[in-house]
Amino acid sequence: MNFETLLYQQEGHVGTLTINRPQALNALNETVLNELKSFADQIQSNKDIRVLIITGSGEKAFVAGADIKSMQGMTPKQATEFSLMAQTAFNSIEAFPFPVIAAVNGFALGGGCELALACDIILASEKAKFGLPEVTLGLLPCFGGTQRLPRAIGLYKAREMIFSGEFYSAEACKELGFVNRVIAPEELLNEAHKLAQIIASRGPVAVAKAKQSLNTGTELHITDGLRQEAVLFGELFDTKDHNEGISAFVEKRNPDFKGE
Ligand code: CO8
């Protein structure tokens, strides 16, 4: 995969995607968003990948938001289209049939915070700062922030973060509940890889269906969510992986899952 603003590396079953515009603190302009969408379309058919890590290039930022400079002079129609374009890219990331870990190495502001919120797990460097500062620009979060943040931490905490536009430390975000772990900067990628390797060693179809159950089930009434969970569970009994997992347990060996 060849991109102008993204770097992609794959080791075994774990892919790492780096947003690479360090001169603009990895801000999301139209090129990055187009490339993210194109990356998402390509990675869907990569049968080898079991976990994706997303991080930012350089020491300072994960993603410092949408590219503010490129917003100058936009018409209302263009602004809505820009918002929808980002939402489409982030929706694809959220719907990947494998977990996505955000390794937040620095500023995750505006669209950067919203990108992290589209990921399944957020690991943050001690130096990371999160925020939805759109209101400081006379704007509102429009890459999913007003929808994913309250679902992640509750309406009252989300309102404070969105209405104030303040930056929050990684530790504060862990307390709010959307950062899983705060890690020393030099250890962040190692820890993300360790977690990715653990997840990648589990039954890939089981992990994918667990993700589906978590992501879509929690939007349903609990009765429907439970029904969906049971159906997804049943579908796993059509896979070779479930035979392998159960046989490995009985034979007291490690399973060798093929994702089938
Ligand atoms: N967009 C464009 N360029 C940026 C951005 C950005 N979001 N953030 C930083 N940069 C650029 C700076 O302009 C600067 O470039 P240059 O050297 O050419 O002047 C370079 O990156 C380095 O930045 P700073 O010199 O500012 O670095 P500091 O360490 O002094 O400050 C900060 C770092 C605090 C992160 C600061 O850069 C900042 O506040 N950035 C903006 C953060 C922000 O407000 N993000 C939210 C943007 S809005 C959004 O994401 C969602 C709304 C989308 C609406 C779109 C609808 C059309």
pLDDT digits (tens, 9 = 90+) for 56-77: 999 999 999 999 998 889 999 9
Write out the catalytic residue numbers: 114, 134
Point out which residues pair with 9 in neighbouring strands.
16
Q: What is the distance between the terminal CA atoms of the chain, rounded to a whole angstrom?
A: 25
* DSSP conformation class of 117: H
Whose Cα sits closest to atom 36 in ligand 1? 64
Out of 68, 87, 104, 139, give the residue to mutate to test ligand 1, the one with the largest number of ligand atoms within 8 Å of its CB.
68
Q: How confident is the model at residue 242 (pLDDT cuts 50, 70, 90)?
A: very high
Q: Averaged over 130-142, what is the pLDDT?
A: 97
Domain at 204-250, CATH homologous superfamily: Lyase 2-enoyl-coa Hydratase, Chain  A, domain 2 (1.10.12.10)
**Which of left, alpha, beta for 7 (phi over 0: left; psi -120 to 50: alpha)?**
beta
CA of 173 from ligand 1 middle (Å) equals: 21
Q: How confident is the model at residue 40 (pLDDT cuts 50, 70, 90)?
A: very high
Q: Is the pLDDT of residue 1 over 90?
A: no
Contact between 17 and 118 (Cβ < 8 Å): no
157 CA distance to ligand 1 middle (Å): 24
For ligand 1, atom 14, the nearest C-alpha belongs to 24
How large is the average pLDDT for residues 45-62?
95
Residues paired with residue 18 on neighbouring β-strands, in sequence order: 7, 55
- Architecture, CATH, for domain 6-200: Alpha-Beta Complex (3.90)
How high is the pLDDT of residue 113? 98
- Tell me what the mean pLDDT of segment 4-13 comes to: 97
Cα–Cα separations (whole angstroms), residue 9 to 122, 156, 208: 19, 39, 21
CA 113 to ligand 1 centroid distance, Å: 13
Q: How confident is the model at residue 20 (pLDDT cuts 50, 70, 90)?
A: very high
What's the 69 CA to ligand 1 centre distance in angstroms?
8
Residues above pLDDT 70, as percent of the chain: 100
Domain boundaries, the chain: 6-200, 204-250
Contacting residues for 241 by C-beta, under 8 A, at least 6 apart: 203, 204, 205, 206, 255, 257, 258, 259, 260
Residue 151 pLDDT class (50, 70, 90 cuts): very high
In this model, does residue 44 exceed pLDDT 90? no
Specify the residue with its C-alpha closest to ligand 1, atom 37. 64
Contact residues for 81 (Cβ-Cβ < 8 A; gap 6+): none
Question: Does residue 66 line the site of ligand 1, with CB under 6 A?
Answer: yes
139 lines ligand 1 (CB under 6 A): yes
Pocket flag, ligand 1, residue 114 (CB < 6 Å): no
Percent of the chain with pLDDT over 90: 96
Best probe residue, ligand 1, of 25, 90, 135, 143 (max atoms within 8 Å of C-beta)? 25
- Does the pLDDT at position 133 exceed 90? yes
State if residue 111 touches ligand 1 by the CB under 6 angstroms criterion. Answer: yes
Ligand 1 atom having least distance to the Cα of 65: 50
- Own/partner contacts of 233-239, CB < 8 Å, gap of 24 or more, are 233/209, 235/209, 236/203, 236/205, 236/206, 236/209, 239/203, 239/205, 239/206
Cα 153 to ligand 1 centroid, rounded to whole Å = 25
pLDDT at 71: 86
Residue of 17, 16, 12, 115 lying closest to 66 (CA atoms): 115
To 10 degrees, the CA torsion angle through 72, 76, 80, 81? -70
pLDDT of residue 209: 97
At residue 50, does pLDDT exceed 90?
yes
